[in-house]
Amino acid sequence: MTIIAAREIDEQGCIQLPKELRRVRKWSKGDFIGIYESGKTIIIDLFEKAEEEYCSICGKLKCILRIDDFCFCEICVALLKDEIEDIEQHVNLNGLSR
């Protein structure tokens, strides 16, 4: 296990997450952090609930489309639509050349 930082707990029981850790993890204001316990070890990570509410691809935006256990945001749906159209055109072109 590697130590990233040492922080003092303040009067309210708060600690500040290091800026570099937040940057690397892409955690920002409003993200929910879960505090997990594994034996004597405490683990902090994005709260699992966030994965249910946010896009399965980019993980940043809220879902507008759900298919089984996956959800997709507006931007990723548009990107997928473009990809599908490209594949359909490719299939049609190959179909015509035969």
The residues in 49-68 that bind Zn ion, with binding defined as CB under 5 A, are 55, 57-58
Site string for Zn ion, 13-52 (x = CB under 5 A): ----------------------------------------
Give first-to-last CA distance, the chain, whole Å.
Answer: 59
Closest CA to 34 of 50, 13, 14, 53: 50
Nearer to Zn ion, 66 or 90 (CB): 66
71 binds Zn ion (CB under 5 A): no
Q: Give the span between the Cα atoms of 85 and 46, in whole angstroms.
A: 34
Q: What are 60's two structure tokens? A: 């940043």
Listed in sequence order, the residues at least 6 apart from 15 whose beta carbon sits closer than 8 Å to its beta carbon are 7, 8, 9
Nearer to Zn ion, 27 or 44 (CB): 27
Nearer to Zn ion, 7 or 81 (CB): 81
What does the binding site for Zn ion look like in residue numbers (CB under 5 A)? 55, 57-58, 73, 76
